């Protein structure tokens, strides 16, 4: 799968686990013509409770692997990696490794669109503990829209509910309602809630069930895809480095069998996957 340096290659999508598959799904739906290479660091997931230094090092290793496999553009389809590692990789690593390559995150595209999705200017975030503690959404949103008030709640049990295929269970009702109630208790004027973890769209039926009427739910996949399309149109020099074959290949640091089984929950289609070492 390795490409010669400088030759066009696939667009890389990285996540610590499986949630980034929802980002990949949104991107492929809008931009099906490109080739994609997805890397899940499933053996070391989850990243949500790990320190900034550990998340940065793990993310850097994965980005370098995707560069090695021929990607010129890598999307961090992981909120925790976007919150804790993106800026350091962009500022410290890319100038040394290859200034022509790019790594983009998924927090800013959502922050950029939120101003047009809220009327009360009160926004909520449901995310992992690491993303909430980083305050990345709050900082990005208030940088762009200083008038917007942001409240966030960590949802530690939501990712296991998804990965153990318990989205439809009564237990899911309890944990989803608990965190939504907690968020709305912080600020009853919230009229838009960002799902700040890529797993959470799979809980959408439960979230819709318990979110108050009139509150907009904001998953990330479509907005990230729109942002990528805009980025490629504004940077034709990068677009020319992305191969077009409509293909997607998957890499995992776990066993391919386990990845194939779990990926079915997110994609509902068989996948071709191989194991890699970082």
- Residues annotated as part of the active site: 78, 197
Q: Which residue has the tokens 């449901």?
A: 126
How far is 41 from 255, CA to CA, in rounded Å?
11
Q: In what order do the strands lie in the sheet with 149-154?
A: 149-154, 122-127, 192-195, 216-218
> By the 8 A CB rule, do 124 and 218 touch?
no
> By the 8 A CB rule, do 46 and 259 touch?
no
DSSP for 214-254, written as a single string: TPEEE-SHHHHHHHHHHHHHH-HHHHTTB--S--EEEEESS
Q: What is the DSSP letter of 74?
A: E
> By the 8 A CB rule, do 269 and 53 touch?
no
Q: Is the dihedral of CA 116, 118, 119, 122 positive or negative?
A: negative
């Amino acid at each position: 799968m390795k490409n010669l340096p400088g030759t066009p290659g696939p667009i890389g999508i990285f996540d610590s686990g499986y949630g980034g598959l929802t980002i990949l799904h949104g991107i492929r739906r809008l931009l099906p013509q490109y080739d994609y290479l997805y890397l899940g660091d499933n053996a070391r997931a989850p990243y949500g409770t790990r320190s900034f230094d550990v998340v940065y090092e793990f993310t850097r290793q994965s980005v370098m692997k995707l560069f090695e496999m021929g990607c010129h553009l890598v999307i961090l389809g992981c909120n925790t990696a976007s919150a804790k590692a993106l800026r350091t990789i962009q500022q410290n690593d890319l100038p040394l490794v290859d200034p022509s390559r790019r790594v983009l995150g998924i927090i800013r595209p959502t922050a950029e669109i939120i101003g047009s999705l809220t009327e009360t200017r009160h926004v909520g975030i449901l995310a992992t503990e690491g993303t909430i503690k980083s305050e990345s959404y709050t900082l990005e949103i208030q940088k762009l829209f200083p008038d917007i008030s942001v409240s966030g709640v960590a949802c530690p049990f939501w990712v296991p509910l998804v990965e153990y295929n318990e989205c439809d269970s009564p237990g899911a009702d309890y944990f989803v309602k608990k965190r939504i109630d907690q968020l709305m208790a912080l600020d009853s004027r919230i009229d838009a809630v960002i799902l700040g973890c890529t797993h959470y769209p799979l809980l959408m039926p439960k979230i819709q069930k318990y979110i108050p009427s009139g509150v907009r739910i904001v998953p990330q996949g479509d907005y990230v895809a729109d942002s990528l399309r805009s980025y490629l149109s504004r940077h034709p020099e990068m677009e020319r480095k992305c191969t077009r074959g409509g293909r997607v290949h998957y890499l995992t640091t776990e066993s391919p069998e386990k990845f194939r089984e779990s990926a079915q929950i997110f994609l509902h289609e068989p996948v071709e996957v191989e194991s890699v070492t970082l």
